Amino acid sequence: MELAIPVEQWSGAVGTVTLGATAEQGGTRRRTLTLGGESTLPFLRLEGAIPNPPALAMEVLDASPEKWPEPLRAPFGNVLDDPAAWAVKCVEEFGADAIVLRLVSADPQGQDASPEQCAETVRRVLQAVSVPLIIWGCGDNDKDNLVMPACSQAAAGERCLLGTAVQENYKTITACALADGHLVISEAPLDISIQKQVNILLTEQGLPLDRIVMYQVTGALGYGVEYAYSILERTRLAALTGDKMLSMPMLSVVGSEAWKAKESWLDEPKWGALERRGILWEAATAALFLHAGSHLLVMWHPEALRLVRAMLTALQPA
């Protein structure tokens, strides 16, 4: 019998989204980052193009992460209480494709930083690095609605990715993105119909498809990753079979999920060397998201990023 290579004829493709704007485009980024564009399944070379490899962003918190375990703090030295210096290290030393600035300081339960303070941090980080910036709110809807407009303005023209728009709270952030030339993260709680619904809400407000990145709440390896895995696979298949409203690139949060897992920090000799465990847990979690179809991973540990980068290289055809 002759083997006929079983190719699929997909009717659709993943859309592309470009983060960051250069000087000619009205921003100050020296690099932009294009996500998506595939007309095939992840890393599969049988039936379609993969114009842009998945990208790896690193996350910077605007308040020093007191609870981070030692193996996670170690590579950062003394920059963890300076978001701008932290971001520089991620880009220059660790090779991050983009920076996620997470505005944890805005949390009303915590430091409750003012919108102006957050905007100032945004300005400083933008000045310090030349890669695209992802600005992520603290998760408190009311506070984010105050913080995001200030940050968006401070970054006007930079084509930043703003997060996150959820079903119950999407209007302010979308308006900011439209006013200042940014993109939006559309978030849903592991539910494909809600994801589609949020995407529709954003587009109805006037945001074009090529300015939306999808984010389904994630779980770490061993802690619900399988749900996210299947949601990502189903979303990719929906894009390939022509569902435009689910065709945007997808983002996955890896670092914060993976380091929450006990396996990353608990002193348990049966599980092997503690200094490596969190790094490997993060890299393993990332690998699953990539195979499920994610386009942009938000990483914490530089060594995990390096391992995943090497895996991406190995997944390029020879």
Partner 1 sequence: MALTAIEVYKHLPKSNCGKCGVPTCLAFAMKLVQKQASLDQCPEVTEETKQALEGSAAPPMATVTIGAGDRAVQIGGETVLFRHEETFHHPCALAVRLSSSLPPAQLAAGIERVEGCRYDRVGMLLGVDLLALEDAGDGSLAEAAQMAAERSSLPLVLMSTDPQAMGAALEHCGAGRPLLYGATAANLDAMVALAKQWDCPLALCATDLHELVALSERAGQAGYGKLLLDSGAKSLSQLLNDQTIIRRAALNKKFKPFGFPTVAVCAAEDPAAQMLEAITAVAKYAGVVIVDPLPDEYLLPIVTARLNVYSDPQKPIQVEAGMHEVGEPTPESPVLVTTNFSLTYYLVEGDVMASKVPAHVLAVDTEGTSVLTAWAAGNFSAESIAEAMNKFALAEKVAHRALVLPGGVAVLKGKLEELSGWEVVVGPRESSGIPLFFRQRGWVPR
Q: Which residues bind ligand B12 (CB under 6 A)?
A: 189-191, 194, 217, 219, 223-224, 227
Helix (H, G, I), strand (E, B) or coil at 300: coil
Helix axes 192-204, 225-240, angle to 10 degrees: 50
Sole binder of partner 1 in the list 146, 178, 209, 237 (CB under 8 A) = 237
| Between 5 and 142, CB nearer to partner 1 | 5
313: Cβ–Cβ under 8 A, 6 or more apart, which residues?
none
Judged by CB under 8 A, the chain residues 217 through 236 that form the site for partner 1 are 221-227, 229-230, 233-234
Helix axes 141-154, 115-128, angle to 10 degrees: 40
Report what 191 binds from partner 1, ligand B12, none; CB cut-off 5-8 Å by kind: ligand B12
Smallest gap, in angstroms, from Cβ of residue 104 to partner 1? Answer: 16
Structure tokens at 107: 């949390």
Smallest gap, in angstroms, from Cβ of residue 272 to partner 1? Answer: 3
Kind and range of the H or E run holding 214 = strand 212-216
Asked if 171 touches partner 1 (CB under 8 A), the answer is: no
Smallest gap, in angstroms, from Cβ of residue 98 to ligand B12? Answer: 22
Dihedral, 238, 240, 243, 247 alpha carbons, nearest 10: 90
115: left (phi over 0), alpha (psi -120 to 50) or beta: alpha
Sole binder of partner 1 in the list 14, 43, 113, 212 (CB under 8 A) = 43
Sole binder of partner 1 in the list 146, 175, 201, 311 (CB under 8 A) = 311
User: Any alpha helices (H) in 39-140, and if so which ranges?
Assistant: 70-73, 83-88, 115-128
Report what 217 binds from partner 1, ligand B12, none; CB cut-off 5-8 Å by kind: ligand B12
Only one of the segments 38-46, 103-111, 161-169, 199-207 lies at the binding site for partner 1 (rule: CB under 8 A); that segment is 38-46
| Between 87 and 288, CB nearer to ligand B12 | 288
Asked if 246 touches partner 1 (CB under 8 A), the answer is: no
Structure tokens at 58: 């690193």
Backbone angles phi, psi at 316, to 5 degrees: -75, 145
Beta strand 133-136 with 98-102 is: parallel
Helix (H, G, I), strand (E, B) or coil at 73: helix
Residue labelled with tokens 């190719």 = 7
Report what 284 binds from ligand B12, partner 1, none; CB cut-off 5-8 Å by kind: partner 1
| Between 164 and 247, CB nearer to ligand B12 | 164
Residue labelled with tokens 């409750």 = 112
Smallest gap, in angstroms, from Cβ of residue 225 to ligand B12? Answer: 8
Binding residues (CB under 8 A) for partner 1: these are 1-6, 8, 41, 43-46, 189, 221-227, 229-230, 233-234, 237, 260, 262-263, 266, 270-273, 276-277, 279-281, 283-284, 287-288, 291-292, 307-308, 310-311, 314-318
